[in-house]
Structure 1
Amino acid sequence: MTGLFLLQLFLYFPEDKSEYIPATFWMLLFLVLTVLTFRWIVRVSKRQEEKTKEFEEEINRERQQQKQ
């Protein structure tokens, strides 16, 4: 019973719905920044993967040359 009362203290639904506009703006801004950051991380990860594959191929070529 006390938990329900505590939750009601923090709930606020404004009568003037224009108060939602700034919150919506900030939420959209952070959503866009999150998507851009995620795409940037994926792009950097792919570049690192390509570099790692090239390095691995180079090492394998060197090993093959040493065996011959």
Structure 2
Amino acid sequence: MMPFLYFPEDKTAYLPAAITLIIFMAMAAVTMYLFYKKSKKDEQAFNEKYENSIHDASESVESK
């Protein structure tokens, strides 16, 4: 048997690790949601700023 691995008999010792994992997973999900929300906001601002240029470029490509 491998003496450097330790698996406690009392399974409540896993509770702090599980709680920490849940907290970090929740924080990662919130961070991803905020990145997504900011990205959509930036995309909308970009489209509003360059709407005419995008429209003109797409028309020139379609006409060729």
Of 18, 26, 31, which aligns to 1:37? 31
Please point out which of 40, 47, 51 is paired with 1:46: 40
Match of 1:20 among 11, 14, 20: 14
CA distance in 1, matches of 2:54, 2:19: 53
Q: How many residues align?
A: 54
Partner amino acid, structure 2, of 1:40:
L
TM-score by length of 2: 0.72
**1:24-59 deviation per Cα after TM superposition (whole angstroms, max 9, x unaligned):** 000000000000000000000000000000011155
Rg larger in 1 or in 2?
A: 1
Which amino acid letter does the alignment assign opposite residue 50 of structure 1?
Answer: Q
Aligned-pair RMSD on alpha carbons?
Answer: 1.9
Instruction: Give 4+ residue runs of structure 1 displaced > 4 Å after superposition.
Output: 58-61
Identity of aligned residues (%): 33
SS state at 2:6 partner: coil
Unpaired runs of at least 5, structure 1: 1-7, 62-68
For residues 13 and 51 of structure 1, do their structure 2 counterparts lie closer, same or farther at Cα, with a shift above 3 Å needed? same
Distance 1:19 1:38 in 2: 30
